[in-house]
Structure 1
Amino acid sequence: MFRGIANVNLVADDVPKAVDWYSSLLGRRPYFVRPVSGPAEYAEWRFGDDEDELALMSSAYRPVLERPGGALVSLHVDDIQAAFDRVRELGADEIDAVTRRGEGWWSASVVDPFGNLLGLIQSPHWAGRHVDAASSSGS
């Protein structure tokens, strides 16, 4: 029934500034932005081995909750310390420092300049899954 995560949405009060920040972080501009003219209110990037979709929307469209709620969006990285240093250089604030969680498995978390929690994970399980998939497809 469930096939995977189709899209992860982050929010920002200043979407154009957030688009610039995430474009710098991901190394590319979004492939989809709305409205087409004028200041962005929504943007999407595809990145990584699976072309995962990360979206950014205006906080004006954030669902209203009666109590706090949310998710920690975690991105797999090849070098957690380098990725952590990069997001900090771009202005993210540390929540959890780079921490070893097991054999070859590390995590860290930050809050981006727009108030979104962003996790970083370096995991041999994630990396191994993608090596196995590439091997079986003949790549």
Structure 2
Amino acid sequence: MMLRGFTTVTFFADDMAAATAWYTKVFGIEPYFNKEDAYIEWRVGDYQHEFGLLDSRFAPHQPAGRPAGAVIYWAVDDVEAAYQRLLALGAEPHEKPTERGPGYVTASVTDPFGNILGVMFNQHYLDVCAGNGFTA
């Protein structure tokens, strides 16, 4: 078995119309896929990764006391600017910008729908992009 990379990340929302409008502002593009307003999807970034938004009634449930979900970090050139922009759009602080080591800075917010959205400057990501012919 060979893992070839992530294809789609899915977040959940109770108010799909509000979440669709918010993420359309965040990404600066319209979604390319809409399945009966229950699942909305955008293609974002250097590799056109898929970001999906699914109505919360279809969200997986964990037994009480067990964490659910994951934090995805989007590559950005300026973590502080991205963090401040997300806050200005209505997100709440989750973790302020923090240097994790040389070439790695992360921050995260909680979107208006309860999902944690991370942003990261990651030198390794830029190196991979350069190796694949993309420029920063």
Under a length normalisation based on structure 1, what TM-score does the superposition of the two structures give?
0.90
Deviates more, 1:96-105 or 1:6-15: 96-105
Give CA deviations for 1:101-126 in whole Å, capped at 9, x if unaligned.
Answer: 11121000111000001111101110
Q: Compute the RMSD of aligned alpha carbons.
A: 1.1
Say yes or no: does 1:60 pair with 2:61: no
Structure 1 stretches of at least 4 aligned residues deviating more than 4 Å after TM superposition: none
Partner in structure 2 of residue 126 of structure 1: 125
Give CA deviations for 1:11-55 in whole Å, capped at 9, x if unaligned.
Answer: 0000110000000000011000111xxxx2110000111000000
1:44 alignment partner, one of 10, 32, 41: 41
Do the aligned partners of 2:111 and 2:117 also contact (CA within 8 Å) in 1?
A: yes
For the residues of structure 2 that align with 1:34 and 1:9, how far apart are their CA atoms? 14
AA of the residue aligned to 2:118: G
AA of the residue aligned to 2:49: D
- Matched residue count: 131
AA of the residue aligned to 1:15: M
In structure 1, list runs of 5 or more residues that go unmatched: none
How big is the shift at 1:84? 0.5
Q: Percent identity?
A: 40
Partner in structure 2 of residue 73 of structure 1: 72
